[in-house]
Amino acid sequence: MVTALAEHAVNEGASLRVIEVTKDFPTPDRAEVLVPALASVSLTVAAGELVSIVGPSGCGKSTLLRLIAGLDFPSSGELRIGSEAITGPSAERGLVFQDPNLFPWLTVRKNIQAGLIARGMWQEKRQEVDEYMRLVGLENFGNTYPHHLSGGMAQRAALARALINHPKVLLLDEPLGALDAFTRMRLQDEVLRLWQARRTTTLLVTHDIDEAIYMSDRIIIMTSHPGRIERVIEVTLARPRQRNSPEFFQLRGEILELLHFAGQTAVR
């Protein structure tokens, strides 16, 4: 199945544009005082590109993803998928968070097909449920409930649930953040394999600089107060990447230094 997918690699991704987006939030105890979470953020992700966002806690990474997901609206600026403005949530933008957010009362199979049922597409696409369970290696766990899954397996189910909608853009908010280092590395390879087979445009928020270098075409470094893009780094290392190559270490050093200095400016 996996090879079949790779052989018939398709191009499902669409381009994403974020144009001078700002987002202000009311202060918790003084609603009339607005705090900028994002200040004039602009970025373009080409169709089929995999881009990571790295930055300190609170710099607006999740806010940016929520705006792209259509779960919230910008205070100013525009967001577009292809030529269409984002006006609300849509199955064409798949979301996976650090918490897999599976329905605890549904089996893996039912969790994965829930979106199809909600959109009235289950009859038409029911055979795809098996295909997606195989794709993420959960073919033997269809009748298992979430509380019996390891963290890695739960995240695979969450990925399958997002991918079965054939999203044009996949939004990953620290999806591997709660996993142990080994599971994490294995899942990085799986996400890459899925991405290479489908070319879904992917935006990955991560705290892990190695993960960003290992996976992305470009890395966006964000800084806080207010959240903005500090720098965009192109990763030109050939794939599959070697985590212990001198080029990898060099890039990691550069990014760490950037984040360190960015942190200093933020505190000042």
The distance of closest approach from Cβ of residue 237 to Mg ion in the complex, given in angstroms and rounded to an integer, is 26
Total of residues contacting Mg ion (CB under 5 A): 2
Residue nearest Mg ion (C-beta atom): 62
CB of 67 or CB of 179, closer to ligand ADP: 67
Name the binder of 248 from ligand ADP, Mg ion, none, CB < 5-8 A by kind: none
The distance of closest approach from Cβ of residue 72 to ligand ADP in the complex, given in angstroms and rounded to an integer, is 8
The distance of closest approach from Cβ of residue 61 to ligand ADP in the complex, given in angstroms and rounded to an integer, is 3
CB neighbours of 166 closer than 8 A, spacing ≥ 6?
A: 12, 92, 198
CB of 37 or CB of 172, closer to ligand ADP: 37
Conformational region of residue 70, where left means phi above 0, alpha means psi within -120 to 50, and beta covers everything else:
left
CA 39/CA 4 separation, integer angstroms: 44
Cα angle 241, 256, 46 (rounded to 5 degrees) comes to: 55
53 C-beta neighbours (distance < 10 Å), count: 26
Distances (CA, A) of 267 to 59, 161, 235: 12, 40, 28
CB of 61 or CB of 161, closer to Mg ion: 61
Stretch 51-90: interaction string toward ligand ADP, x if CB under 6 A: ----x-xxxxxxx---------------------------
Q: Identify the residue whose tokens are 């790295």.
A: 54
Name the binder of 59 from Mg ion, ligand ADP, none, CB < 5-8 A by kind: ligand ADP
Stretch 45-84: interaction string toward Mg ion, x if CB under 5 A: ----------------xx----------------------
Residue 202: beta bridge partners?
A: 50, 170
Q: How many whole angstroms from its chain centre is CA 241?
A: 20
CB of 61 or CB of 218, closer to ligand ADP: 61
Q: Number of C-alpha atoms within 13 angstroms, CB side, residue 156?
A: 25
Q: Which of 268, 262, 173 is nearest to 223 (CA)?
A: 262
Q: Residues 202 to 241: which contact ligand ADP by CB under 6 A?
A: 227
Q: Residues 121 to 140: which contact ligand ADP by CB under 6 A?
A: none
Q: Which of 254, 185, 189 is nearest to 219 (CA)?
A: 254
CB of 136 or CB of 212, closer to ligand ADP: 212
Contact residues for Mg ion, defined by CB under 5 A: 61-62
Contact residues for ligand ADP, defined by CB under 6 A: 25, 37, 55, 57-63, 227
